[in-house]
Structure 1
Amino acid sequence: MAKQQRVVIVGGGVIGLLTAFNLAAQVEHVVLLDRSGVGQESSWAGGGIVSPLYPWRYNLAVTALAHWSQDFYPHLAQRLLAETGLDPEVHTTGLYWLDLEDEAQALAWAKREGRPLSSVDISDVERAVPVLGAGDYSRAIYMAGVANVRNPRLVKSLRAALQAMPNVTIEEHCKVEGFIQKGEKILGVKTAQGERLADHVVLAAGAWSGELLSSLGLELPVEPVKGQMIMYKCAPDFLSSMVLAKGRYAIPRRDGHILIGSTLEHEGFDKTPTQSALESLKASAVELIPALAGAEPVAHWAGLRPGSPEGIPYIGRVAGVEGLWLNCGHYRNGLVLAPASCHLFADLLLGREPIIDPRPYAPEGRI
């Protein structure tokens, strides 16, 4: 691709930010538009586990992106820290799954995929994670090397890196209202602040992507799926590992904050935190970590995931509409899959050899 190309990215979450980060050195100008503030929706609200919650239950297309990203995240964090002084805090703790119904399937998947997942005795879990209510569980599996990223800080560091690039423009509170179209070609987008022209328009608007694409008469099956979480403040060494049981998880940050999540609700675009979810999450927290029984959460919030069929994102060119691209629909795994998704996207837009087979993510035939 010629370097004089202009790219407009619609959506300033981690997917949009990292797409801009990967393209900026190769194109003339990148304009990143967000309807509110960058990274304030799903990217801010997630837990940041750098693994799908149950990786063996996913389509191989999701697994391929996850594996690449897991290996790449430490390098990305080091680069962002060096460039911006803001640490995304990729915190490697390992992850325990307790009393899995499909443990045999998980272990078979790990053997087939060459992942370091193994069965461990529950007494070993009690010794490794003494605050865990392990006496209430009988079986455990453990994957070493699984990290979590402090997603609000990842957003801040990506934003700072982009702001330091002279050919990147970030426009917040700039809602895209439609596309500028001539025949079968997209020439840019219409916003409340005026038109933004481009050689390529990238739709990376998370849960809002389907609504935007519908203005072109295209049906993209991406819908909002609400998730609520709570957070406690504990000592930095309180919880040594991530833990997952009965669909709920505990994530330790380096400074002692513990995240408990999450709900899965189909409530449209309503992201109001509810008392019922708060009580449910508190009960899960105490079940996982009995020492939290007397503690009160320091925060409770909700976000909207971009739900998609099988959680397989849409990455690539929209067939029949020249100049329009998708990088969206990551469902529960946007933070996990972002490095691979955005590298693959840049490969496709720039005409490079793709890092993995792009066919499972192609919009063609799926919308």
Structure 2
Amino acid sequence: MSKQVVIVGGGVIGLLTAFNLAAEVDQVVVCDKGGLGGESSWAGGGIVSPLYPWRYSPAVTALAHWSQDFYPQLGDRLHAATGIDPQVHVTGLYWLDLNDEAEALAWARREGRPLSKVAVAEAYSAVPVLGPGFASAVYMAGVANVRNPRLLKSLKAALQKLPNVILKEHCPVTGFIREGERIAGVETVEGVIAADEVVLTAGAWSGDLLRPLGFELPVVPVKGQMILFKCAEDFLPSMVLAKGRYAIPRRDGHILVGSTLEHAGYDKTPTDEALDSLRASAIELVPALAGAELAGHWAGLRPGSPEGVPYIGRVPGCEGLWLNCGHYRNGLVLAPASCQLFSDLLAGREPIIDPAPYAPQGRLQAI
């Protein structure tokens, strides 16, 4: 396939899209307004599962299942290529005191996923630091978390090794080059970049970039704040989740706790109120965190979309323009499947899953 592709946005979706396309096209150029992976992809927790997978539509479930099964080999491939281990860390996940436990178990039976009810004593035995007072537990074996900053570093390093990939950091795209009904490239602060195909993977900023072309893309920034503790390496053996808040262990003993869900525009300022709330949730989940070193507190902007279903495919009426964006809370979860599906569509191959639920056609509004 003889093409030049420009990807607008260098988060995990943009970088993995570039990684997949590099073997298929002549050249890939990735443009990001800041540093690669510096926004939502860096800020997330990296659980390789939606927080409550049974509450999502089949469209999200299909992408999540494919990605969950693929992540270990992606991690191994990137580690082998770059020497940077993304640390796909399989710990399993305990949900505590679910109010829709029956729905969760019915979903697991229907989807064939390894989620089951366990005695709460089993959860306390497996996670001795778990806080008191929890009455019920559901466990999913095999759930991993990926250390997202390391995933981004390994993706960037892998792309830098490819001779037909150009990475342009701190190079905002300011507009699109339009020739009739065709998008023929992008305008950037460094000048025009011509392209046969342009892919919009700009996360929470995707809607703003698309609007001048006459489309309303319902992707909006949704702020999420996280905190990070430093503990011993074996302190927390499994991920735990209760009341919408979670604790994620990294291999080196760092524990992430998140997250808030705030509609505050593009403001990424960490707040004392969120810090206090997250710390309280952390201590309720794992009381020993009260005495742990607080190693970080930050905020990121999720690309909020209706029902969390991403937009993957051609933009109607704009030949040469594609979307791979709007993953909301699950960009890291869904990235492998989303980017493989996108590559299949661009190459005209049989797609890994039915692309219809993600197609922009019929989901965008003309302005």
Q: TM-score range by the shorter chain?
A: over 0.9
3-state SS of the aligned residue for 2:215?
coil
Q: List gaps (5 residues or longer) in structure 1.
A: none
Instruction: Output the aligned Cα RMSD.
Output: 0.5
Deviations 1:250-297 (A, max 9, x none): 000000000000000000000000000000000000000011112341
- The aligned length equals 364
Q: What letter corresponds to residue 353 of structure 1 in structure 2?
A: E
3-state SS of the aligned residue for 2:46?
coil
- Superposed, 1:1-367 pairs within 5 Å as 2=1, 4-133=2-131, 135-367=132-364
Quick one: percent identity of the two aligned structures?
75
Q: What letter corresponds to residue 273 of structure 1 in structure 2?
A: P
Contact 2:200 2:324 in 1 (8 A): yes
3-state SS of the aligned residue for 1:327?
strand
Give the deviation of 1:116 after TM superposition: 0.5
3-state SS of the aligned residue for 2:263?
coil
- Aligned counterparts of 1:17 and 1:296: Cα–Cα separation in 2: 33
- Aligned counterparts of 1:290 and 1:304: Cα–Cα separation in 2: 29
- Aligned counterparts of 1:293 and 1:76: Cα–Cα separation in 2: 36
Q: What letter corresponds to residue 60 of structure 2 in structure 1?
A: V
Out of 45-54 and 290-299, give the one that drifted further. 290-299
TM-score by length of 1: 0.99
Q: What letter corresponds to residue 339 of structure 1 in structure 2?
A: P
Give the deviation of 1:107 after TM superposition: 0.2
Q: What letter corresponds to residue 65 of structure 2 in structure 1?
A: H
Out of 295-304 and 53-62, give the one that drifted further. 295-304
Deviations 1:206-243 (A, max 9, x none): 00000000011110000000000000000000000000
Q: What letter corresponds to residue 31 of structure 1 in structure 2?
A: V
Deviations 1:102-138 (A, max 9, x none): 00000000000000000011111111000011x3110
- Aligned counterparts of 1:241 and 1:48: Cα–Cα separation in 2: 14
TM-score by length of 2: 0.99
- Aligned counterparts of 1:154 and 1:73: Cα–Cα separation in 2: 11
Deviations 1:307-346 (A, max 9, x none): 0000000000011110000000000000000000000000
3-state SS of the aligned residue for 2:316?
coil
Q: What letter corresponds to residue 122 of structure 2 in structure 1?
A: D
Shift >3 Å, 4+ stretches = none
- Aligned counterparts of 2:312 and 2:177: Cα–Cα separation in 1: 21
Q: What letter corresponds to residue 34 of structure 1 in structure 2?
A: D
3-state SS of the aligned residue for 2:218?
coil
3-state SS of the aligned residue for 2:216?
coil
- Aligned counterparts of 1:233 and 1:293: Cα–Cα separation in 2: 12
Give the deviation of 1:182 after TM superposition: 1.0
3-state SS of the aligned residue for 2:175?
strand
Q: What letter corresponds to residue 59 of structure 1 in structure 2?
A: S
Q: List gaps (5 residues or longer) in structure 2.
A: none
Q: What letter corresponds to residue 240 of structure 1 in structure 2?
A: P
Deviations 1:115-172 (A, max 9, x none): 0000011111111000011x31100000000000000000000000000000000000
Q: What letter corresponds to residue 218 of structure 2 in structure 1?
A: P
- Aligned counterparts of 1:292 and 1:29: Cα–Cα separation in 2: 48
